[in-house]
Chain A
Amino acid sequence: MLRVRDVTVRFGGITALDAVSLDLNRGEILGLIGPNGAGKTTLFNSISGVVRPERGSIFFEGHSLTYAPPHVRARRGVARTFQNLQLWPSMSVEENLMVPMDALGGRNTFSDALYMPFSAYAERASMERARAILHVLDLDRYRHTPAGDLPAGIQRRVEIARALAMRPKLLLLDEPAAGLDAKETSRLAELLHTVRERFHVSMLLVDHDMSLVMRVCDYVYVLDFGKLLAHGEPAAIRNDPKVLAAYLGEESKKLTGEVEAAARARRDERPLLEVRGLAAGYGGLEVIRDVSLDVKPGEVVACIGANGAGKTTTLRAISGMIHPRRGRVTFAGKDVTGRSAERITRLGLVHIPEGRGLFPNISVEDTLRLVSNTAGHDVDMKPAFELFPRLRERRTQLVGTLSGGEQQMVALARAILSRPRLVMIDEMSQGLAPTVVRQLFDIIRVFREQGIAVLLVEQFVESALDVADRAFVFEHGTIGLSGEASELRADRKLVAGSYLGTAVEDGAAIGVANGNGNGNGHHLDPALMETVAVRLPAKVKRALEQRAEAEGRPAGALAIELLQQVDRQ
């Protein structure tokens, strides 16, 4: 159905795609994998018409798409989603779905504005179909919510719904699992199968989550450095040594014994960072409350927990990016609660936020030289380049043009050069290929060797617990569990309970125990709680859960009942 032949794309001097060919048959789910910067998104962009290839041709159902503008391709039946969500944030979910539908109908601006009968009829038809799609994807309840107000996980689903509204024959999915936790990812896999059956679409899927790709796809293509490396059935790809070397990297060595020894040695020292009863939030929403944790000098501590549990907010409140509402933060013996980020940073705390906190228009070299702002003198960049030889090659390149992994390297290099006492890293591995992730986790060991303490927020629970001495498990905006990393690793059930319904795949790369029988004794419909979380402050949500527990009913049912009562009033 889709035939891509010898597509070559160049940006400036860099060849992003080098004569890539690919075939997709009707009804197939095709996987496209490869390390960061391999050209997957560029290939997507060439197929959907956002980027024009320099050479090569693209055929869809026998028509040449090579020179067609994006909207023509869309109308031929090629729809896509975006890696960085591109919904129309100010429009309601329903409206988001109606735009592509109208585009198919060829509606007229003037008759629309005049509210002519034909337009009214078409309008009703679109709306009904939008509702049908939302129903299948279980999004009915968000119909009138502005898309921008939804949590990222739901937004990803809305993007798929919007693409389906195009009545596509081919659906291009660009990292649909990015930013989702294990439970959400496994729901996504089910969803994709449902979508294929209900809407009769073929799919081309790009993702870093190998478990998703292997489970969903019928056939897999592997890209590396803009070239096609291999293709085959998932099982074959999994065992292809070439692919393993390029994409998965070598198994990392475990250092468990050493870690435990280090942890024991530090147990009695005075903490470097001490957080007591911290509460913080955004606008009317209090996201974390009563968070207490501590990090000892030279220790590696991991914060884990489901999406939206408050890990990122905690880091932000510590580093001064947001103002804590209550509680106290002590760092290096000084009370730093509510101080500005730049003053806290100068005390020797480096915070690498989500998105890496870099400057896209400044070169690698100049970025690293900025470290002299905290150090007070010019810095020698050698250690950074020794650790990351790749950065030496790219020293004059602008940071914004680097791949995600290289950017993370710049952020970590800065952390090493400024010789801080504590480094806080938020979602280091997000959006990165496994090889890169493994390399980066090795850097944490470098920090440990240099006596720099690390506070880590991580989606990959296993990897995080591997490198950490201790861990705090976040749950609904506060800390549910804490303990030695080794203990937590041994007792997966315990961690799973705190994840509140985090399902786990056996055989999948990451995960904990099954979420259905979770340790807290009450079920919540997570999707419903997400809506509630959007509307209600954490306090109310909490009260709801407590009442549900007292009455022995699921909180989801209770919430629906309450909402219905409110509606009736």
Chain B
Amino acid sequence: MTSKLAFRVLATLVAFAVLARIPVGFDVGFKFDAALAVIWAFGLLSLVLLTGYVGQISLCQATFSGVGAYTAGMLVSNAHADYIVAVGAGVAAAFVLGVLVGLPALRLRGITLAIVTLGIALVFDRYVFQDHAFEWFTGGTAGWRVNSATVFGLQVDSSKHLMGAYLILLALFCVVALLMVNLHDSGAGRRFRAIRDSELSAATMGVNLTRYKLLAFGLSAAIAGLGGAFYPLVAGSVSPQPFWLFTSLQFAAIAVLMGVRYVPAAALGGVFMAVIPDVLTRYGHGTFHGHPYDISYDWFQFAVGVLLIVQLILLPDGVWGDIRHRARHAISAARVVTARRMKVA
């Protein structure tokens, strides 16, 4: 058990070391993509917890990210709060909203819950993030501007010092991901998975459904909000568009596409969500007679839709799940071959 933990810590450190180097040498745009990838990865990670571990469905994860982003942005711009405090407040706000969204989940499940959370995403997308009544929260059409901040002693802003933001986000992601993997095998993780596999027997075997479902929704929202809270810093401002309804749908689609039960799949999905559209935007216009902007994004979304369909038909466990199965297969096959060779020798 302890050796497993040591292995995980080591793997996380290696992953951090490798990933931290990658954006170095690229231009600001790609550094922004790298930071954005981690923000989206947080959103996907929140679904690994909520859907992958606990089996609850949510189509409003981007709303949680958005609440984290707006709360942090408001506190920094309006109250001139320290950025760390603002992030903490953003996470707390997302947690509270998550628990509130979790309340109907105590009674509803499956498809009905999906519809209700979609409704929540719509209400926030159209009527909170974009409504005049909530300007105190959203900063109106201009949104909040965040020029620069010092986080953990690192100077961070949205242009020159983007690497700082990326490194902080990545480090936080690694820590949260490690905690998530640990959580899976722990007692609490078992209770979560028990709820996923059969609520009925979980309740009759002493698992407090109310508490653990609300906790799952709260924690999941907090994870999404943690990523979102860094958005104002990375992008320089907050606007409703990144956290609209279709981002929520994309979260769900890409989480399932990559493998909703696996933590590394979230990282993979984050890169997929942030980098590919940008690459398409930059290098996609040559082929499209002078329509550089929307087209490439639509192509990306089209690809996500089609891939999702193909994947659900062919690889029910997601891309990462499939890679994992294949790797395990290959390892055990290799073992058999080695054993046979040794016998022959």
Contacts and interface: CB of A to CB of B under 8 A. Distances in A.
Do A and B interact directly, with beta carbons closer than 8 Å?
A: yes
A62 to B, nearest CB: 20
Interface residues of A, number: 42
A104 B187 contact: no
B190 A50 contact: no
Contacts of A306: none
B194 A99 contact: yes
Contact of B190 (A87, A89, A91): A91
B203 interface: yes
A98 B204 contact: no
A88 B194 contact: yes
A390 interface: no
Given A88-B194, A90-B193, A113-B182, A70 B188 contact: no
Interface stretch (A119-127, A393-401, A461-469): A119-127
Given A99-B190, A112-B186, A113-B183, A74 B204 contact: yes
A102 B190 CA distance: 9
Given A89-B197, A113-B182, A113-B183, A95 B204 contact: no
Contacts of B197: 87-91
A115 B205 contact: no
B189 A112 contact: yes
B247 to A, nearest CB: 27
A114 B203 CA distance: 25
A69 B207 CA distance: 10
B202 interface: yes
B117 to A, nearest CB: 23
Contacts of A89: 197
A457 B206 CA distance: 39
Interface residues of B, number: 31
A122 B180 CA distance: 19
Interface string A74-94: 110001101000111111000
Contacts of B339: 569
B204 A80 contact: yes
A107 B194 contact: no
B81 interface: no
Nearest to A124: B1
A88 B53 CA distance: 13
Given A71-B209, A75-B206, A166-B206, A87 B198 contact: yes
Contacts of B190: 91, 95, 98-99, 102
Interface string B172-206: 00000001101100111111011011101111111
A532 to B, nearest CB: 18
A87 to B, nearest CB: 7
A99 B194 CA distance: 7
B241 interface: no
A74 B201 CA distance: 10
Q: Which of B1, B190, B208 has the most CB of A within 10 A?
A: B190
Nearest to B211: A71
Given A86-B198, A86-B200, A113-B179, A100 B206 contact: yes
Given A109-B188, A112-B183, A48 B204 contact: yes
Contacts of A107: 187-188
Contacts of B215: 109
Contacts of B2: 120
Contacts of B10: none
A569 B335 CA distance: 9
A70 B210 CA distance: 11
Contacts of A70: 203-204, 209
B200 A50 contact: yes
Contacts of A75: 206
A126 B187 contact: yes
B191 A99 contact: yes
Given A88-B193, A98-B187, A99-B194, A69 B205 contact: no
A79 B204 contact: yes
A21 B186 CA distance: 41
B191 A50 contact: no
A103 B179 contact: no
Contacts of A98: 187, 190
Given A98-B190, A99-B191, A112-B188, A74 B205 contact: yes
Contact of A123 (B186, B193, B203, B209): B186
A350 to B, nearest CB: 32
A50 B209 CA distance: 12
B194 A114 contact: no
A70 B209 CA distance: 9
A49 interface: yes
Given A71-B208, A120-B1, A166-B205, A103 B198 contact: no
B11 interface: no
Nearest to A172: B204
Nearest to B203: A70
B293 to A, nearest CB: 43
B5 interface: yes
Given A102-B187, A103-B191, A113-B188, A162 B205 contact: yes
B198 A88 contact: yes
A50 B208 CA distance: 13
Contacts of B200: 50, 82, 86
B50 to A, nearest CB: 14
Interface string A205-228: 000000000000000000000000
Contacts of B205: 71, 74, 79, 99-100, 103, 162-163, 166
A119 B188 CA distance: 10
A232 to B, nearest CB: 29
Contacts of A79: 204-205
B206 A104 contact: yes
Given A99-B194, A109-B215, A115 B203 contact: no
Given A87-B198, A113-B179, A115-B182, A123 B187 contact: yes
Interface string A175-208: 0000000000000000000000000000000000
A112 B187 contact: yes
Contacts of A114: 179, 182
A435 B1 CA distance: 55
A115 B185 CA distance: 10
Contacts of B206: 71, 74-75, 99-100, 103-104, 166
Q: Which 7 A-B pairs have the closest CB atoms?
A: A103-B206, A88-B197, A112-B186, A74-B206, A102-B187, A70-B203, A109-B188
20 contacts: A50-B200, A70-B203, A74-B204, A74-B206, A75-B206, A80-B204, A86-B198, A86-B200, A88-B197, A90-B193, A90-B196, A91-B190, A95-B193, A99-B191, A102-B187, A112-B183, A112-B186, A113-B182, A119-B186, A119-B187
Interface of B: 1-2, 5, 179-180, 182-183, 186-191, 193-194, 196-198, 200-210, 215, 339
Given A104-B206, A107-B188, 4 more contacts: A71-B204, A74-B205, A113-B180, A115-B182
